[in-house]
Amino acid sequence: MDTHGIRVQRRFDVELVQVTKRYGGTTAVDGISLRIPPASYCCLLGPSGCGKTSTLRMIAGHEVISDGDVLIHDVNVTDLPPVERGTAMMFQSYALFPHLNCLDNVAFSLKARGMAKAQRHAKAREYLALVHMEGFAERLPSQLSGGQQQRVALARSLVTEPRVLLLDEPLSALDPFLRTRVREELKRLQRELGISFIHVTHSQDEAMALADLMVVMEDGHIRQAGPPREVFERPVSAFVARFIGGHNVLQGPGGMIAVRADRCRLGDPADGPHLPARVAAVEYQGPSVRVALTVGKGRDASVLVPDEQFYAEPVQPGDAATLVWAERDAHALAGAG
């Protein structure tokens, strides 16, 4: 079905063409198009209910596509079952089979493909080793910690050598320390395996740390897609700027603008573009201090002040202040709000 032997260079690992998902009368995903280049780490980012999980499940083949097409490695897979798509999914709850030990969990998809027992166990061990879980082969999932279960789930989805790995909020059940470590590991695996990962998350930190391609979704639409740096430097709308964080969305002279919080200062009206504000809270964050401000008619903004600079001229909640930024840091936004 695919040009496997000849290795024709594929254009995209995954391509979505006007993909739509309707549940009864409501539209969860509204005609989105997206192209994921070969071997990329793609993060679908957005608040809950934005359609990111539905999109992932449509790519996986667990959700019927109401309209549009999904292509994987340039093959239209819209009407194919998951197993013929070359995708593998890692579920949010991991969905490990509770009555099977780790080895059999990982070997399950090989069993489904009719591989002999010795062979599938050998391969399953190999993939358990890939996620450093070879010592837990005989354990049941309930005897593992959350992080360990996640590794087994990862091994189980990779064992079929998928073309695209789909991850549904893989880090949400882990504690913050573990999250950072697993994040590094996911990125390492993706690089080593040279396949595309599509990772659904509502955490912008996660998306920025991992993604080659960051896709910000809202209300069933893609609001912006691009490398994280591009999205962070040039958010297209107030929603994107707010959602990825680290930005102040302000009323500039010529319309809405976004200014990065670390490029804003507390200063004097003479310094440049400015807005009068009142200090709402002060949070010490180690290298910097975040000063939360109320600007104008109750709009929130914040300023990240390097700690030395802050303690040279400290402010208290309730103080009047002036929010100042440089003209070149202001970034005009499309759309109001």
Partner 1 sequence: MDAGQDAVSIAPRSRGRRRWRLSAQAVSWLQVSPLAIILITFFALPTLIFLVVSFYDYDRVGIYPDFLLDNYREILTSPATLRVYLSSLQFAFIVWAITLFLGFNIAYFLVFHVRSRMMRTVLFLACAIPFWTSGIIRTIAWIPFLGRNGAFNQMLQGVHLIDRPLDFLLFSPFAVCVTYIHLFTLLMIGPIANSLAKIDPALLEAARDAGASRWRTMVDIVIPLSKTGIALGSILVFTQVMGDFFVVKAMSGGQSASIVSQLATEIQAMQYPPAAASAMILVLFVAIMVGGMMRVVDVRKELVR
Question: What phi and psi values does residue 28 have, to the nearest 5 degrees?
Answer: -85, -40
Which of 17, 39, 80, 95 lies at the binding interface for partner 1 (CB under 8 A)?
A: 95
Angle between helices 102-112 and 146-158 (to 10 degrees): 20
Q: Is 83 in the site for partner 1 (CB under 8 A)?
A: yes
Question: What phi and psi values does residue 80 have, to the nearest 5 degrees?
Answer: -95, 150
Residue showing tokens 């990779």:
158
Residue among 24 and 254 whose Cβ is closer to partner 1: 24
Identity (one letter) of the amino acid at 209?
A
Q: Is 176 in the site for partner 1 (CB under 8 A)?
A: no
Give the span between the Cα atoms of 20 and 32, in whole angstroms: 7
Q: Is 156 in the site for partner 1 (CB under 8 A)?
A: yes
Q: Give the residue among 260, 206, 265 at the shortest CA–CA distance from 232.
A: 260
Residue among 70 and 96 whose Cβ is closer to partner 1: 96
Contacts of residue 257, defined as CB under 8 A and 6 or more positions apart, other chains included, come to 249, 250, 251, 330, 331, 332, 333
Give the span between the Cα atoms of 182 and 201, in whole angstroms: 14
Which of 38, 82, 246, 273 lies at the binding interface for partner 1 (CB under 8 A)?
A: 82
Residue showing tokens 């609001």:
223
Which of 99, 117, 191, 229 lies at the binding interface for partner 1 (CB under 8 A)?
A: 99
Q: Is 246 in the site for partner 1 (CB under 8 A)?
A: no
Identity (one letter) of the amino acid at 316?
Q
Q: Give the residue among 199, 154, 197, 244 at the shortest CA–CA distance from 53.
A: 199
User: Which one-letter DSSP state was computed for residue 286?
Assistant: S
Quote the least distance from Cβ 227 to partner 1, whole Å: 29
Q: Is 60 in the site for partner 1 (CB under 8 A)?
A: yes
Quote the least distance from Cβ 95 to partner 1, whole Å: 4
Q: Is 81 in the site for partner 1 (CB under 8 A)?
A: yes
- The DSSP secondary structure of 163-187, one letter per residue, reads SEEEEESTTTTS-HHHHHHHHHHHH
Residue among 124 and 261 whose Cβ is closer to partner 1: 124
Residue among 172 and 294 whose Cβ is closer to partner 1: 172
Give the span between the Cα atoms of 214 and 224, in whole angstroms: 8
Tokens of 210: 């991992």
Residue among 58 and 289 whose Cβ is closer to partner 1: 58
Which of 23, 76, 97, 284 lies at the binding interface for partner 1 (CB under 8 A)?
A: 97
Quote the least distance from Cβ 67 to partner 1, whole Å: 22
Residue among 44 and 96 whose Cβ is closer to partner 1: 96
Quote the least distance from Cβ 108 to partner 1, whole Å: 5
Return the range that interacts with partner 1 (CB under 8 A); candidates 12-20, 84-92, 196-204, 268-276.
84-92
Identity (one letter) of the amino acid at 260?
R
Give the span between the Cα atoms of 333 and 234, in whole angstroms: 9
Which of 18, 93, 145, 309 lies at the binding interface for partner 1 (CB under 8 A)?
A: 93
Binding mask 103-142 for partner 1 (x = CB under 8 A): -----xx-xxx-----------------------------
Q: Is 151 in the site for partner 1 (CB under 8 A)?
A: no
Site residues (CB under 8 A) for partner 1?
60, 62, 81-83, 87-89, 91-93, 95-99, 108-109, 111-113, 156-157, 160
